[in-house]
Amino acid sequence: MATDSKRKLFSYRGGTFLLLSLLIIALICGFIIHHFQVVSKLAVSRHTDEGTFYIIIALAIVAIIISVVLSVRRHRNIRNLQQIAEAMENGADIESMPEFARDELGDISRNIIDLYRRLRHASNEVEREHENAMHEQQEKLRIKRQLTNNINHELKTPVAAIQGYLETIISNPDMSEEERRSFIEKSYAHSQRLTQLLTDVSTITRMEDGSNRIECQSVDLAAIIDEIRDDVALLPEVKRMRVNLELPRPMMVKGNTSLLMSIFKNLTDNAIAYSGGRDIYIKAVESEGNLYTITVADNGIGIDDEHIGHIFERFYRIDAGRSRKLGGTGLGLSIVKNAVLFHGGNIEVYNRKVGGLEFKFTLPKAS
């Protein structure tokens, strides 16, 4: 503070007062000289007049020097401020600040530059947020268009199959009862796949467009998993797998019952359809951050590493023909990932060293 005060000794305000004082002194001295000239015959010698005259000249020179110094300082500040103003007018980023004198105009200039920098930063942040929002909106539109195209493609297969079977039945009234029943059963199987596809699409749409309308409450996840295990136990023996559970009880999480059910149903259905194993292992432990860490694994054949990074993509199939034959829609694992993310968790997948595939994800505990 003391240093700044010393540096501002010759500030504009102090310099102006000093200059005015000197000018007043000069005027007073001039008046005195005039007075001495008037009364010189009475009391003042010539030597005194000459001394006083030299003093006045010296004071005038000092006043001129101070005026020049102040003018130069002011001109430099104004020139620097003009350069800054031109840069501001062009919308440029001011990386380095010119050197301003430690005076009132310099302080004002520095404050203006600092304000401009803050406004520029705020403007850049707004532009960046706008660009991100536009990019996100465009990405959503792209994903929706892609989803629509994929849905159209996926719908064609069961619709065309159903139409073909029914046309065959209608155009062949003499068809045997056994053939007719076979075609009807195949039509029914395709209609089930069509229903499942529409259900899966509706689930994804709910999570993406209406997440704020999806009700969440405290749910006992152990009870949901028990229900999944009981459903698997009722499957025909060729499809049935043993479901091994290791869960805390009760296992309360905050979420949507339907979406939580879809996570474990899709994972178990995926293991039953494609793993080739005999066991499913579901384990949950409490972890830091008020979360449950859950693993769903099987002891099947696993998948090639090249597919690991894609299995959560919509309509991605490792074996497209086999998937459709088994009634898969290609949306099950995408629903799993979106449902986990909707609940604030994360999910990853990898091949087990002992064989099979393992999904590991987190879900929030109910407060």
Q: State pLDDT tens for residues 235-250.
A: 888 888 999 999 998 8
More confident residue, 204 or 186: 186
Report which of 155, 183, 152, 158 is spatially closest to residue 169, judged by C-alpha positions.
183
> Average pLDDT over the chain, rounded to whole?
76
The tokens for 88 are: 């501001």
SS3 (DSSP) at 95: coil
68-78 pLDDT, tens digit per residue, is 676 676 667 67
> Per-residue pLDDT averaged across 26-40, rounded?
58
- Please state at what angle helix 104-171 crosses helix 12-38, rounded to 10 degrees: 160
Q: Render the burial of 97-120: b for 16+ CB within 10 Å, e for the rest.
A: ebebbbbebbeebbeebeebeeee
- 108-117, 238-247, 269-278: least confidently modelled range: 108-117
pLDDT of residue 42 exceeding 50, the answer is: no
More confident residue, 142 or 326: 142
More confident residue, 323 or 269: 269
pLDDT of residue 49 exceeding 60, the answer is: no
Residue 205 to residue 211: CA distance in whole angstroms: 9
pTM: 0.55
Domain 215-367: give its CATH architecture: 2-Layer Sandwich (3.30)
Residue 296 to residue 317: CA distance in whole angstroms: 20
